[in-house]
Structure 1
Amino acid sequence: MTAAALQALVDQRARLVAQAGHLVDRARAASRDMNAEERQNFERMHDEAANLKAQIDAASASRGRAGQAGSAAAIASAEFARRAGLGDERLSSIRATEDYSRAFGDYVQSGRVSADLQADQSDKGGYMVPTEYANEIAKSLDNTFWFRQLANVLPRTTADSLQLPRRTARMRRFAWGAELTTPTKDTQLAFGQMTLTPGWMCGEIDVSNTLFTSGVVDVEEFVQAEITYAASETEEMAFMTGDGIRKPLGVFTPHADGVPASRDKVGTISTDDLYEAKFSLREPYLRSDRLAWLASRPFVRDVAKLKDSNNNPLWVVSVRAGEPDKLLGVPLTMSEYAPAGSGTDGAWASGDYAACIGDFKNYDVLDGLDMSVQRLNELEARRNMVVFIVRRKVAGCARHGEAFARLKIA
């Protein structure tokens, strides 16, 4: 998509949001709520605007991938990787070779196994994907869904788990005194340990034998695209609401090891309570370049009706491609996988989580290096299908719960 076409979508979305805002203003000027027809039109316009936003984001990501070497969030220092014991040089060197990449592509296309693949057989069945293939999938994961773009993505590892230090208490303040005053020894500073243990996710892809013989579809690219989308969707939901049991611990899940219940701000989707949630974060987190709101489409639709004391909207829609919408001056990310209302017709109910604001570089994502693809020729032969079984590992958890706050409906 050209830059001009992309900007045209941005402008079209801005016009829809403005038209929806006029409906709210008209009802407010008449000191009444919107009538049924106005509500229906308001919701329709915001749904159309949300769909346009999805198109804009997808097109922007596609343009950004051109020439992109990888997500900046995924780049970690070699020293960190060395100290943490990340990676396995033998496996990495095998999978990085051109011979292995060719052999893996041949395996996906034809099921033929060469000696190059046998050198790196997975103990879970199937064969490990080559380094370049895994990197392409990881890069696509970064660009397909939102959470990885916000989070701190660590280098992939073959280790069963990774221990990271986590400060649990700060050092006491210094005391004023004379030059020779004896300092008081600090007894408050304390560190704990956070363990990230990647859990397995698996999926099955059925591919028609006709595709292999048609010559129209690159089956390797097709399988990669399907892996990317299915894995992205699965982990995006877990990064939001996962319970941490063999899967990531989500930011909307109250848990002592992640974002605790003490970070909940109970209220409504109102100007005062949104300010309360934002300013419950300490100043260093408010200055972070990774500070963001994360919420569902219904939440965005509701905050679009809110204005401050100067009659300015709290939610400011982006007018340029690549720029985020903002809520109270903070970038707002809308996700279809963030919690929505649990009441009748999607209404907000007591106890629902409406939004999360935080410094997302304090949420760690760890991918296991052991990603395998197994091809089964006979399982669905009656349906003229070849089955691919894919397994990969991922973990995720908030390192510092104080870096986040959630708005919980009273």
Structure 2
Amino acid sequence: MTQIMELMEKRAKAWEAAKAFLNTHSQNGGMVSAEDAATYDKMEKEVTDLTKDIERLQRQDEIEKMLNQPTSAPITNMPGKTGDKADEKTGRASAAYKKAFWDNIRHPGNPVIRDVLEEGTDGNGGYLVPVEFEHTLVQALNENNIMRTIGCKIITTQNERKIPVANGHTQAAWTAENGAYTESNPTFGQTSIDAFKLTDLIKVSDELLSDSFFDIEGYISEEFGRAFGEAEEDAFINGAIQVGATAIDRPTGLMIAAASGGAPSGVTTAANNKIDADELISLVYSLKAPYRSKAKFLMNDATVAVIRKLKDGNGAYMWQPSLTAGEPDRLLGFPLYTSPKVPTMTAGARAIAFGDFSCYWIADRAGRSIKRLNELYATNGQVGFTCTERVDGKLILAEGIKILDMHA
């Protein structure tokens, strides 16, 4: 269409030029010389040729529009079946699987239900939760786990996932004409994301399960989501724990010692029980500039209570409340998030994390499962439910996050 408009403008200008030429070169009675007539004929021919070009392009446009018209009505349902089936979900996302799953939770043992649930059978005797319910559970985890909100989340289908990490960069060098290139030797490392097992068990009375008005789906989602969220956040921040003489493997915590996989120290305070404004500014600039564009603060509420009282040299508070619903407060212009799992301001504690938290990866092993325990609590008139997930968390790029350590 643009080409047609250009030709039409060119034709209009050519025609105006031809008319002007004829008007200025005609003699009494409208006669022109043979030489001027030949010139005019050429100008008129140009107008005629442009007209033919425009008409040809317009016909071409009409033909293309005609050819682009659909030749038949689109198929919106499965051949041989009535009704619109195109949007029907399959597998664990299907309505039939979801209904069968929750019917089985309430009334296990129905063979028809089991036929449908074959899609979700696993090796532990439980059933994989329906897709929509798993999304609900993940949402509950996010609401109870700030690390899932600010970290980088991935889904893996393997027990261990290898992640290549560049340990260095190439170096450019000025080179004389015909000179030899200077070699660079970048180095690469490798880290791995594992899958640690997290479980929970709850008991529900037979009466509640029999009551069709009781929202068993909502209750299980909320309870498992809250419990898993708290356990995950503690692990993502503080790492492995010791239960008696047994060490329990968990995800690699962000706030553990740098030598063990935690974030490196950016600033160490002068006192063991307070933080001043200069130390916060030093923490910000201990982080490389490329990471500061997406950087955030993470600390617990007790530390925020101390930070909120700090002022800059002009007497203005360094902490600024959020003016938009759903947005975090800000400290030194950067978003501020809190978690009760972050250590408090005590001697030697790692009290504040600052950086780009997308450098901390959270890997979900695809699929959570729920298992019903019929006999274990039967004498108490209860039914048990277990939920299992496998997840890991690890700081992939150490230089992306810095820690404020309290003086020991």
TM-score, normalising length from structure 2? 0.71
Structure showing greater radius of gyration is 2
Instruction: Identify which of structures 1 and 2 has the higher relative contact order when contacts are C-alpha pairs closer than 8 Å and 6+ apart.
Output: 1
Letter of the structure 1 residue corresponding to residue 235 of structure 2:
A
Secondary structure of 2:163's partner?
strand
Aligned-partner Cα distance in 1 for 2:141–2:194: 19
1:142 aligns to what?
142
Q: 4+ residue stretches of structure 1 with deviation over 6 A?
A: none
Among residues 272, 283, 296, which one is paired with 1:277 in the alignment?
283
**Deviations along 1:3-45, whole A, 9 cap, x unmatched?**
xxxxxxxxxxxxxxxxxxxxxxxxxxxxxxxxxxxxxxxxxxx
Task: Give, in angstroms, the shift of residue 93 of structure 1.
Answer: 6.1
Aligned-partner Cα distance in 2 for 1:355–1:399: 19
Letter of the structure 2 residue corresponding to residue 358 of structure 1:
G
**Deviations along 1:126-159, whole A, 9 cap, x unmatched?**
11112222122123322343211101111x2331
- Say which is worse superposed, 367-376 or 140-149, in terms of deviation: 140-149
Paired residues, number: 306
Given the alignment of the two structures, is residue 216 of structure 1 paired with residue 216 of structure 2, yes or no? no
2:129 aligns to what?
129
Aligned-partner Cα distance in 2 for 1:217–1:360: 40
Aligned-partner Cα distance in 1 for 2:342–2:169: 32
Given the alignment of the two structures, is residue 392 of structure 1 paired with residue 364 of structure 2, yes or no? no
Task: Give, in angstroms, the shift of residue 264 of structure 1.
Answer: 4.5
Superposed, which structure 2 residues align to 1:48-127 within 5 Å? 94-112=91-109, 114-127=114-127
Identity of aligned residues (%): 30
Aligned-partner Cα distance in 1 for 2:253–2:212: 42
Give the CA RMSD over aligned residues.
2.0
Letter of the structure 2 residue corresponding to residue 265 of structure 1:
V
Aligned-partner Cα distance in 1 for 2:356–2:281: 16
1:250 aligns to what?
253
Letter of the structure 1 residue corresponding to residue 233 of structure 2:
E
- Say which is worse superposed, 92-101 or 322-331, in terms of deviation: 92-101
Aligned-partner Cα distance in 2 for 1:186–1:160: 35
1:74 aligns to what?
none
Task: Give, in angstroms, the shift of residue 263 of structure 1.
Answer: 2.6
2:328 aligns to what?
324
Task: Give, in angstroms, the shift of residue 283 of structure 1.
Answer: 0.6
Aligned-partner Cα distance in 1 for 2:170–2:100: 55
Given the alignment of the two structures, is residue 407 of structure 1 paired with residue 404 of structure 2, yes or no? yes
Q: Contact (CA 8 Å) 1:200, 1:246: kept in 2 or not? A: no
1:334 aligns to what?
338
Secondary structure of 2:91's partner?
helix
1:14 aligns to what?
none
- Say which is worse superposed, 299-308 or 160-169, in terms of deviation: 160-169
Aligned-partner Cα distance in 2 for 1:119–1:305: 57
Q: Contact (CA 8 Å) 1:152, 1:361: kept in 2 or not? A: yes
Aligned-partner Cα distance in 2 for 1:328–1:225: 36
Letter of the structure 2 residue corresponding to residue 200 of structure 1:
K
Q: CA distance change for structure 1 residues 385 and 264 in 2, over 3 Å: closer, same or farther?
A: farther
Q: CA distance change for structure 1 residues 140 and 180 in 2, over 3 Å: closer, same or farther?
A: farther
Aligned-partner Cα distance in 1 for 2:349–2:289: 27
Aligned-partner Cα distance in 2 for 1:192–1:100: 44
**Deviations along 1:232-251, whole A, 9 cap, x unmatched?**
11101111111396321111
Q: Contact (CA 8 Å) 1:252, 1:353: kept in 2 or not? A: yes
Aligned-partner Cα distance in 1 for 2:353–2:228: 23
Secondary structure of 1:169's partner?
coil
Task: Give, in angstroms, the shift of residue 171 of structure 1.
Answer: 2.0
Given the alignment of the two structures, is residue 381 of structure 1 paired with residue 385 of structure 2, yes or no? no
Task: Give, in angstroms, the shift of residue 257 of structure 1.
Answer: 6.0
Q: Contact (CA 8 Å) 2:258, 2:265: kept in 1 or not? A: no
Q: CA distance change for structure 1 residues 363 and 297 in 2, over 3 Å: closer, same or farther?
A: same
1:162 aligns to what?
161
Aligned-partner Cα distance in 2 for 1:390–1:372: 6
- Say which is worse superposed, 176-185 or 299-308, in terms of deviation: 176-185
Aligned-partner Cα distance in 2 for 1:296–1:209: 41
Task: Give, in angstroms, the shift of residue 321 of structure 1.
Answer: 1.2
Secondary structure of 2:181's partner?
coil
Letter of the structure 2 residue corresponding to residue 138 of structure 1:
V
**Deviations along 1:62-102, whole A, 9 cap, x unmatched?**
xxxxxxxxxxxxxxxxxxxxxxxxxxxxxx96323333222
1:300 aligns to what?
304
Q: Contact (CA 8 Å) 2:160, 2:193: kept in 1 or not? A: yes
**Deviations along 1:207-227, whole A, 9 cap, x unmatched?**
122212333321122111111
Q: Contact (CA 8 Å) 2:233, 2:341: kept in 1 or not? A: yes
Aligned-partner Cα distance in 2 for 1:126–1:215: 23
Q: Contact (CA 8 Å) 2:283, 2:404: kept in 1 or not? A: yes
Aligned-partner Cα distance in 2 for 1:110–1:246: 36
Letter of the structure 2 residue corresponding to residue 252 of structure 1:
M
The answer for unaligned runs of 5 or more in structure 2 is 1-88, 242-247
Q: CA distance change for structure 1 residues 338 and 309 in 2, over 3 Å: closer, same or farther?
A: same
